[in-house]
Amino acid sequence: MRVVAYTDSAGIGGAEISLGHLVATASPTIDLTVVGVSQTVVDAIADRRPQAARWVLPAGEVLAHWFRFQRLRPDIIHLNLCTPWAGAIGLAAAIATPGARVVRVDQLPLRTTDALHLWRTRALSLRVDAHVAVGEASARRMEDFYALGRRSVRSIPNGVPDEGGGTESAAESRPGTLVVGSVGRLDAMKAHDVLLRAMAQVDDVHLIILGDGAERQSLETLATDLGVRDRLELPGWVSNPRRYLPQFDAVALPSRSEGFPLAMVEAMLAARPVVATRVGSMPEAIIHGETGLLIEKDDVAGLANALRCLRDDRSLRLRLGRQARERAIAHYTVEAMMKGYEQLWSSLLMAPRAPRLRIPRPRD
């Protein structure tokens, strides 16, 4: 099986890390080529699989994409998209490539208000051989946002490698203090401002946010205004956030919008309880009171109560963390993710190729 793994991302984020996991874990019998528009991104992904070929194409040039796909003669073109309106050039070239089955993977179930982006996203989505989201809720949202028809988008959750877990955190040596970690770029979608406001209502909580972005200055200012700057650490971007997990008693992900974040699964595999919002597909992994705690989006009081609960009940933290690890091992490893994609790719090769020139009528 010849597979092209494609991304048009210009930087490394969760979507690209997930694609790197897939490239590294795919069966050695698969002839895999990494294609993209950024040398840095292509190298970071292809380096995970030393035998993988790699190609960097000029961004925005559909003919260059089409000629390269033609010459590679892939069975599968697997396009990994960080937003639903990304990858239009790659998708158009892939759909026009004779003999190739096209798989579209949306990492974030986002809606656009731009009419051109909306109709282009819909038209391209209806012409691929398989459309994948990273969770059931994310799949249903993509169907609704772009009028794709019910059950036209399937779910394959993101997975991460298991590096072991279950040890008590280094923070356990500080009785009465809850060390909370959060991982993600510093922008409004991640809602770190909600986390700071909740922390300000709960004594003896220390917060470490791993990531960088445009909101850094405003978060520092907010922390100062709330009187919690001395309880906040902002180390910036780190290449391996997982090595910080032993320092945390819990992980908080109060996102306003989300797909199926890798940080959530990494925390679960490390046996850390996660406090997450009921957005995207996070509630599919975080079962309230069993593998973590769920709150509503922008619910400062609810998040404060969750932090207070975890601070005051060490046995609850340990139970939630242990059960979170058990669930992640069962469902959210890279092996489980890769099995889902390899089964999908194989099934597409055995099925007739979908028509390209007409758009099929979406199912209700």
Q: Report d(CA 299, CA 162) in Å as an integer.
A: 32
CA distance 109 to 281: 9
DSSP for residue 50: T
pLDDT tens digits for range 310-343: 999 999 999 999 999 999 999 999 999 999 999 9
Backbone angles phi, psi at 3, to 5 degrees: -125, 130
Cβ(3)–Cβ(31) under 8 Å? yes
Give the end-to-end CA distance of the chain in Å, rounded to a whole number: 34
Q: 173 falls in which pLDDT band (50, 70, 90)?
A: very low
**Reported confidence tier of residue 172, pLDDT bands at 50, 70, 90:** low
CA dihedral (137, 142, 148, 153) in degrees, to 10, reads -50
The count of residues in the chain is 364
Pick from 270, 244, 266: nearest CA to 179: 244
Instruction: For residue 177, name the pLDDT band (cuts at 50, 70, 90).
Output: confident
Position 87, amino acid: G
pLDDT in tens, 280-290: 999 999 999 99
Q: What is the pLDDT of residue 169?
A: 55
**Strand ranges for 42-128 from DSSP E:** 53-56, 76-81, 101-106
Residue 333 backbone dihedrals phi, psi, to 5 degrees: -90, 165
Domains of the chain: 2-159+334-350 (3.40.50.2000), 170-331 (3.40.50.2000)
Q: Tell me: pLDDT of 171 over 80.
A: no
Contact 78, 106 (CB under 8 A): no
Going by DSSP bridges, is the β-strand pair 292-295/232-236 parallel, antiparallel, or unpaired?
unpaired
Give the chain's mean pLDDT: 93
CA 86/CA 11 separation, integer angstroms = 13
Residues 124 and 227: beta-carbon distance below 8 Å: no
Phi first, then psi: what are they for 222, rounded to 5°? -65, -40
Q: Please state, for a pLDDT cut of 70, what percent of the chain lies above it.
A: 94
**Which tokens hold the place of 115?**
């009419």
